[in-house]
Amino acid sequence: MLTLSCSALSQSPPPQQPPSISKFISNHPCLTMLQNHCTTINHFHQIYPHIIKTGLTLNPIASTRALTFCASPSGNINYAYKLFVRMPNPNLYSWNTIIRAFSRSSTPQFAISLFVDMLYSQIQPQYLTYPSVFKAYAQLGHAHYGAQLHGRVVKLGLQNDQFICNTIIYMYANGGLMSEARRVFDGKKLELYDHDVVAINSMIMGYAKCGEIDESRNLFDDMITRTSVSWNSMISGYVRNGKLMEALELFNKMQVEGFEVSEFTMVSLLNACAHLGALQHGKWVHDYIKRNHFELNVIVVTAIIDMYCKCGSVENAVEVFETCPRRGLSCWNSIIIGLAMNGHEREAFEFFSKLESSKLLKPDSVSFIGVLTACKHLGAINKARDYFELMMNKYEIEPSIKHYTCIVDVLGQAGLLEEAEELIKGMPLKPDAIIWGSLLSSCRKHRNVQIARRAAQRVYELNPSDASGYVLMSNVHAASNKFEEAIEQRLLMKENLTEKEPGCSSIELYGEVHEFIAGGRLHPKTQEIYHLLNDSSFAFQD
């Protein structure tokens, strides 16, 4: 637990000022300007020196107004803390302000530390203090620690306060403790807070996070009053759990009912379109973002680029990248990987070179995965080795298992199977089933049964429940015309109760996504499709 020192609290408070003086101070030009005209931290830095010169910093009204601004989204949380520790005698409002500000920041642990300091001060927490602390625990994912504070709230008889109760539910749900969240949720005094949308939204989010998406949908369907947050939580829950078609269908329903969406929903939908390869849906989402003037921040732009690349529309991806107002490192990585995956290897190298020339950014581990992937598709062995050395020597990036897998792919594609095997054995990281599977796949291409057997054995040991090792080994034998051994591998797979997950594909036709599973007959047009495929008179035309 981090502890923040508040030694200034021990100082004696300044003498009480007469009401007439307090009224004069509250109307002081500096404070009026601070309250009515200060909109950025730069404005604050221009006004605050005048407050210091006039001696107003020790006045509770002046210090509280300054703290309120610095603790707001327009201010600066670090400066707010400096002001707080210099306050002679912070009141309850000041404590709540600084704790709430840290609970919404990127360092919520300081909200908890300040709360602990508050317990040892002359000012004790009240009901408005606790929601911020529970939110801080939720942001940190420390619901187990927050349970102790929950016990304190129950002892104080504050558990039925709506705001406190809602943040307790959110804390447990965000931390994956759904049984505790459900207990608090079911115990709410529904006669006072009937159909509490905030609490239900937290439960929807929590169940989706834990993979219980059906529970999320049951709660969603039972809601009498829904908000945009309800829809957004349900859509993102579907995407998180791989139910991409359901996410798109729910979004269409959301549009019909006239609810507004946020950037968060747009990113979820773009991810769904990317996984489905639904280009027309993805274009519509992109157009929707432009029509409704959503902020094109780094997260949104990265999601758009990724969607276009995964849908095969590289030209659109490059256009978005070239015209985006903000290019974060994730945008660069997305376009480099997208180009490499779509057969534009040389363009991927060019973008990587541009990233290296950038004065504000430099390549990270993901950037190198992109160019190493391009090397694999291009078969550029020497180039892959050069990038690997560049990553370690110039940028001091320790190779991960993914980087080694890329190099093994490059060597394997070129037929250098012995070198690839030695690289796996000699790397400082423990090999996983994926890197051995990569080598096994290359053995199939080059019909090297001897190395394939060793690689397959490692795959079996590391991931016994995965059928890919048996399937790849069977294919190696089949490629070498050893059909009996190929059949034997399939039989071993069945004996070990290992099943290969059926292949799945999807196509988009007239704005509708159709999903097909290998051997499946669940599509409503199954009979027509098979009839067409079996019709010998039908010929495919370009």
pLDDT means per 10 residues in the chain (542 residues)?
Answer: 35 40 43 52 55 54 72 79 84 93 91 95 92 95 93 91 92 94 80 68 93 94 88 89 85 87 86 86 90 89 95 95 90 96 94 92 94 92 94 94 93 90 92 87 81 81 68 67 64 57 56 58 66 57 45
The reply to whether 433 and 460 lie within a common domain is yes
Contact criterion met (CB below 8 Å) for 127 and 164: yes
Q: Is residue 438 part of a domain?
A: yes
Name the domain count of the chain: 2
Q: Is residue 283 part of a domain?
A: no
The single residue listed with the structure tokens 């009480």 is 16
The reply to whether 403 and 419 lie within a common domain is yes
> How many other CB atoms sit within 10 Å of the CB of residue 420?
26
The reply to whether 511 and 497 lie within a common domain is no
User: What pLDDT is attached to residue 462?
Assistant: 76
The reply to whether 510 and 495 lie within a common domain is no
Q: Is residue 122 part of a domain?
A: no
Q: Is residue 419 part of a domain?
A: yes
User: What pLDDT is attached to residue 9?
Assistant: 29
Nearest to 90 by CA among 163, 209, 6, 17: 6
Q: Is residue 9 part of a domain?
A: no
> How many other CB atoms sit within 10 Å of the CB of residue 378?
18
d(CA 372, CA 387): 7
User: What pLDDT is attached to residue 1?
Assistant: 37
For 66-92, b/e burial (b = at least 16 CB within 10 A) is: bbbbbbbeebbbebbbebbbebebbee
Domain enclosing residue 464, as ranges: 399-501
Q: Is residue 389 part of a domain?
A: no
**H or E segment to which residue 381 belongs:** helix 381-393
User: What pLDDT is attached to residue 208?
Assistant: 92
User: What pLDDT is attached to residue 214?
Assistant: 94
The reply to whether 491 and 510 lie within a common domain is no
User: What pLDDT is attached to residue 7?
Assistant: 34
The reply to whether 407 and 438 lie within a common domain is yes
Q: Is residue 35 part of a domain?
A: no
d(CA 412, CA 375): 12
Q: Which amino acid is at 426?
A: G
The reply to whether 422 and 469 lie within a common domain is yes
The reply to whether 440 and 491 lie within a common domain is yes
Q: Which amino acid is at 414?
A: A
CATH number for 494: 1.25.40.10
Beta bridge partners of 514: 507
The reply to whether 449 and 525 lie within a common domain is no
The reply to whether 495 and 421 lie within a common domain is yes
Q: Is residue 224 part of a domain?
A: no
The reply to whether 463 and 483 lie within a common domain is yes
pTM, 2 dp: 0.64
Backbone angles phi, psi at 57, to 5 degrees: -65, -25
Long-range pairs, 192-201, Cβ under 8 A, ≥24 = 192/160, 192/162, 193/162, 193/165, 195/223, 195/224, 195/225, 196/162, 196/166, 197/223, 197/225, 197/226, 197/227, 197/229, 197/230, 198/166, 199/165, 199/166, 199/169, 200/230, 201/227, 201/229, 201/230, 201/233
The reply to whether 411 and 439 lie within a common domain is yes
User: What pLDDT is attached to residue 18?
Assistant: 40
Nearest to 153 by CA among 136, 128, 180: 128
The tokens describing 356, both together, are: 């290296």
